[in-house]
């Protein structure tokens, strides 16, 4: 994993002086309770076949510690004030210092492993609802969540591999979770060819191949509802210089779904900061995701994700992420299964614990 060189830490004084930061993709308004629309006035370079050029590598470590839900201390503000921003700059500098110290000493520790901070002046990833909170789960979703199995949930019994989710088993983080930051492996790479955009992901080395079609042909190119993948089927079209991607046909993952192959609670394992409860949220067969990628500067893309799943959430929600390009960031081998004994250890220790509990209960009954 390559460390993302944060411009925020290098320009901490400027961050305190100017409203717009070098790592910001848009200006901070005077009214911190306002979220301006995504800027569309930048004219990006074009590919040889004429599409807006989105190609590049975008490590999003610099926003990996931004919570999904807005902390209550920020009230109804989308943006930090100057004092809060100064504290965030100091925290980011501390993260860089720990990384540099490990490099100097020739050691690898948490400074390298947890490669995340929250640069910029945003208070959370969510931009809708305006209150900065994920919508409530439906009663059905609460039932699905309670029945789901994952190491991210407070389950106490792991009896077989079906008691782990797809990320636990090194299969996938699923979609759209894979597009959200976590504590490490936050690299995103965009590739383009005529008629296709491919998004490579550092985590688990997943890849999304997005077919570009005219907007009015999206429905005609859809797979049958019975055909599903962990990443769903993504079809894209251009609205000016913005790439719009609509994704359906996502595998529904929870123990009360129609899917008989997987019992994990969710391919939408939303392990990113500030997602209650316990990072995992069920996914139904009705889930639809709309993404918008807009290049707002030569080295910036604003990425918006709108998620709708009426069986799970009582309303849709939208997150906005700022991507900063760094083509020196490298993807290395993601060795997850090799030498991984954790699933077996979980099962063995859990079974042993259940036996002890049963023996104690039996002794107490005598």
Residuewise pLDDT in 10s, the chain (366 residues): 333 333 333 333 233 323 334 444 568 999 999 999 999 999 999 999 999 999 999 999 888 888 889 999 999 999 999 999 888 888 776 666 666 777 777 776 655 555 555 678 999 999 999 999 999 999 988 887 777 777 777 766 888 887 888 888 888 888 898 999 887 889 999 999 999 999 999 999 999 999 999 999 999 999 999 999 989 999 999 999 999 999 999 988 654 334 433 444 444 455 555 566 666 788 888 999 999 999 999 999 999 999 999 998 999 999 999 999 999 999 998 888 778 888 899 999 999 998 998 888 888 776
Q: Is position 362 within any domain?
A: no
Question: What is the C-alpha separation between 124 and 68, in angstroms, rounded?
Answer: 5
Which pLDDT score, from 0 to 100, does residue 11 have?
Answer: 31
Per-residue b or e along 107-116, where b marks 16 or more CB atoms closer than 10 Å to that residue's CB: eeeebeebbb
Site of tokens 């976590």:
182
Q: Is position 343 within any domain?
A: no
Per-residue b or e along 178-197, where b marks 16 or more CB atoms closer than 10 Å to that residue's CB: bbbbbbbbbbbbbebeeeeb
Q: Is position 340 within any domain?
A: no
Model-level pTM?
A: 0.84
Which pLDDT score, from 0 to 100, does residue 281 have?
Answer: 80
Q: Is position 344 within any domain?
A: no
* 3 state SS of 294: strand
In sequence order, the β-bridge partners of residue 307 are 289, 317
Question: What is the C-alpha separation between 168 and 150, in angstroms, rounded?
Answer: 7
In the 8-state DSSP scheme, what is residue 136?
P
Q: Please name the residues in contact with 315: beta carbons below 8 A apart, sequence gap of 6 or more.
A: 129, 135
Q: Please name the residues in contact with 222: beta carbons below 8 A apart, sequence gap of 6 or more.
A: 233, 235, 248, 249
Q: Is position 365 within any domain?
A: no
Q: Is position 74 within any domain?
A: yes
Question: What is the C-alpha separation between 222 and 37, in angstroms, rounded?
Answer: 30
Enter the tokens of residue 224.
């049958």
User: DSSP letter string over 205-244?
Assistant: G-EEEEEE--GGGTGGGPPPTT--BTT-EEEEEEETTEEE
User: DSSP letter string over 21-83?
Assistant: -TT-SSPPPSSTT--PPPP------B-TTSSB---EEEE-GGGTTS-SSPPGGGTT-SB--HH
Question: What is the C-alpha separation between 224 and 213, in angstroms, rounded?
Answer: 17
The residue range of the domain holding 243 is 7-324
Q: Is position 355 within any domain?
A: no
Quote the number of domains for the chain: 1
Which pLDDT score, from 0 to 100, does residue 150 have?
Answer: 78
Which pLDDT score, from 0 to 100, does residue 325 have?
Answer: 96
Question: What is the C-alpha separation between 289 and 307, in angstroms, rounded?
Answer: 5
């Amino acid at each position: 994993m390559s460390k993302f060189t944060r411009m925020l830490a290098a320009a901490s004084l400027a961050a305190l002086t100017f409203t717009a930061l070098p790592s910001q993709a848009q200006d901070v308004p005077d009214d911190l309770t306002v979220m301006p629309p995504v800027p569309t006035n930048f004219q990006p370079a074009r590919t040889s076949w004429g599409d807006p050029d989105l190609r590049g590598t975008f490590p999003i470590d610099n926003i990996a510690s931004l919570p999904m839900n807005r902390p209550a201390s920020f009230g109804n503000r989308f943006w930090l004030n100057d004092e809060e921003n100064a504290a965030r700059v100091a925290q980011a500098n501390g993260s860089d210092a720990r990384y540099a110290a490990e490099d100097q000493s020739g050691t690898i520790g948490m400074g390298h492993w947890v490669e995340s901070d929250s640069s910029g002046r945003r208070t959370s990833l969510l931009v809708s609802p305006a209150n900065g909170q994920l919508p409530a789960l439906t009663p059905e979703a609460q039932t699905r969540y309670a029945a789901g199995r994952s190491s991210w949930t407070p389950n106490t019994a792991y009896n077989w591999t079906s008691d782990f989710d797809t990320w636990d088993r090194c299969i996938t983080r699923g979609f759209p979770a894979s597009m959200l930051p976590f504590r490490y492996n936050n690299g995103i790479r965009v590739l383009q060819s005529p008629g296709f955009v491919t998004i490579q992901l550092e985590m688990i080395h997943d890849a999304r191949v997005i077919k570009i079609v005219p907007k009015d042909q999206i429905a005609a190119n859809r797979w049958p509802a019975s055909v599903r993948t962990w990443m769903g089927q993504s079809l894209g079209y251009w609205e000016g210089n913005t790439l719009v991607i609509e994704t359906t046909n996502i595998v529904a993952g929870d123990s009360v779904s129609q899917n008989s192959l997987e019992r994990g609670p969710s391919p939408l394992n939303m392990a990113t900061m500030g997602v209650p409860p316990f990072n995992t949220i069920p996914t139904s067969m009705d889930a639809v995701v709309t993404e918008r990628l807009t290049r707002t500067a030569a080295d910036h893309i604003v990425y918006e994700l709108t998620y709708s799943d009426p069986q799970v959430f009582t309303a849709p929600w939208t997150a906005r992420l700022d991507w900063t390009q760094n083509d020196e960031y490298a993807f290395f081998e993601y060795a997850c299964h090799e030498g991984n004994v954790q699933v077996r250890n979980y099962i063995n220790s859990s079974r042993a614990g259940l036996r002890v509990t049963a023996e104690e209960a039996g002794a107490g009954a005598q």
